[in-house]
């Protein structure tokens, strides 16, 4: 354990259970919301309309235009609707795309946010906003971005397709993996990260075969919440930088990109983070977390290469340039050729090797 550290608890109010969507109106009232814009993607407009109905006269309208990577032009369109309707709060219903739009609006107008996650993205537990403009994804942290209340209703995850459940879950695991070696990490977050990884790693193979298994859904959503706490509490490193660069530059699917990149990024950092590797070995009951994460992606049926996600091979150099243009802190020094090799391995879908095995 470190001799000294700083820990800040997240201020978000969390309500976890089954069937708690019915509490949405009461929670909106708790936040002082009288005219809410209900946000979703086009795919989940039906659920958004159900939530609007539950809100009753507290619902101003439904905006079902949220998009992947939070494009600024979509945010501006939604903002004009908020202003026209004199909205005083937001209810975001969906995954990371929907939550991202809500956070983008809150960053501009400091609206209170009530989030009902339907995936394992975890962004609802952070004060981080990632948004894309002209092919470049940038991030910002601000207190106004942090949602005030999150309703984790396990029932809302029961209809998640098996593949999306898996990639969304590995995306969540990535948050906790990097929290284990974050520059501002602390022992509390390390405990939360290890438990979050354990929960998701246990649940995801079950959901790949039985997507409506309620106990596995509870375990996965619980793990995703913990991994979201990690993302909101400490910094990230090369894995997230690579995913931000790739997603913004090539419009790659967010969760699948994290799923492909994670084992390769971990293989890069493994020699520099022995304590984190020991925790990962314990959480996943393995002596090779790098291989375990790569194999987990196979178990859930996810694409295993950036090529399969639509990234062109000649984009590798561009991804390297973006990564080094504004690099994140990383526990291992960033070497340009090594990072290029890491991206190339992820592009090809090569099973990464763990260079230094964790000592007993």
pLDDT along the chain (360 residues), means of 10: 80 96 98 98 97 98 96 97 98 96 98 97 93 88 96 96 96 97 96 98 97 97 97 94 92 95 98 97 98 97 96 97 94 97 97 64
Round to whole Å and give the CA distance between 147 and 114. 6
Model-wide pTM > 0.75: yes
DSSP letter string, 62-85: EE----TT-BHHHHHHHHHHHHHH
Q: Collapsing DSSP states into helix, strand and coil, what is residue 113?
A: strand
Paired sense of beta strands 13-17 and 136-141, if any: unpaired
Which residues, at least 6 apart from 89, have a Cβ–Cβ distance to it below 8 Å? Answer: 28, 31, 32, 33, 34, 35, 36, 37, 111, 112, 113, 114
pLDDT for the residue numbered 357:
43
For the domain with range 162-348, which CATH number is right: 1.10.287.3510, 1.20.1090.10, 1.10.3810.10, 1.10.1660.10?
Answer: 1.20.1090.10
**101-120: b or e for each residue (b if 16 or more CB lie within 10 Å)?**
bbbbbbbeeebbbbbbbbbb
pLDDT reported for residue 359: 45
d(CA 16, CA 207): 20
Q: Across the strands, what pairs with 131?
A: 138
Question: Which is nearest to 44 in space by CA: 1, 123, 99?
Answer: 99
Q: What is the pLDDT of residues 171-196, one digit of tens each?
A: 999 999 999 999 999 999 999 999 99
Domain ranges of the chain: 13-157, 162-348
Residue 217's closest CA among 284, 155, 290? Answer: 155
Residues 13-157, CATH architecture: 3-Layer(aba) Sandwich (3.40)
**Stated length of the chain:** 360
Q: Which residues are CB-contacts of 326 (< 8 A; sequence separation ≥ 6)?
A: none
pLDDT at 358: 46
């Amino acid at each position: 354990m470190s001799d000294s550290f700083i820990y800040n608890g997240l201020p978000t109010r969390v309500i976890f259970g089954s069937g708690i969507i019915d509490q949405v109106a009461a929670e909106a009232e708790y936040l002082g919301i009288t005219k809410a814009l209900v946000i979703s993607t086009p795919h989940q407009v039906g659920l958004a309309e159900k939530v609007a109905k539950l809100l009753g006269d507290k619902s101003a309208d439904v905006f079902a235009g949220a998009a992947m990577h939070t494009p600024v032009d979509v945010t501006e369109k939604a903002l004009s609707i908020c202003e026209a309707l004199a909205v005083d709060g937001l209810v975001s219903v969906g995954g990371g795309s929907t939550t991202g739009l809500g956070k983008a609006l809150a960053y501009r107008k400091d609206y209170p946010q009530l989030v009902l996650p339907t995936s394992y993205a975890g962004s609802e537990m952070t004060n981080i906003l990632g948004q894309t403009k002209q092919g470049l994804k940038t991030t910002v942290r601000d207190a106004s971005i942090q949602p005030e209340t999150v309703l984790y209703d396990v029932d809302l995850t029961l209809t998640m397709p098996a593949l999306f459940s898996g990639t969304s879950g590995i995306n969540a695991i990535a948050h906790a993996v990097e929290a284990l070696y974050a520059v501002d990490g602390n022992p509390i977050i390390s405990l939360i990260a290890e438990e979050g990884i354990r929960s998701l790693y246990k649940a995801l193979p079950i959901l790949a075969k039985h997507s409506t298994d309620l106990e596995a859904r509870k375990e996965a959503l619980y793990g995703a919440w913990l991994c979201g706490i990690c993302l909101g509490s400490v910094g990230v490193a090369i894995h997230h930088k690579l995913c931000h660069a790739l997603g913004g530059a090539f419009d790659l699917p967010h969760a699948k990109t994290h799923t492909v990149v994670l084992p390769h990024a971990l293989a890069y950092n493994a020699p520099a983070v022995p304590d984190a590797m020991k925790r990962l070995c314990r959480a996943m009951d393995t002596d090779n977390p790098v291989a375990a994460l790569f194999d987990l992606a196979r178990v859930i049926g996810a694409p295993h290469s950036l090529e399969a996600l639509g990234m062109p091979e000649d984009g590798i150099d561009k991804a390297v340039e973006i990564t080094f243009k504004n690099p994140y802190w990383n526990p291992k020094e960033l070497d340009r050729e090594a990072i290029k090799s890491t991206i190339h391995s992820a592009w090809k879908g090569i099973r990464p090797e763990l260079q230094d095995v964790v000592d007993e």
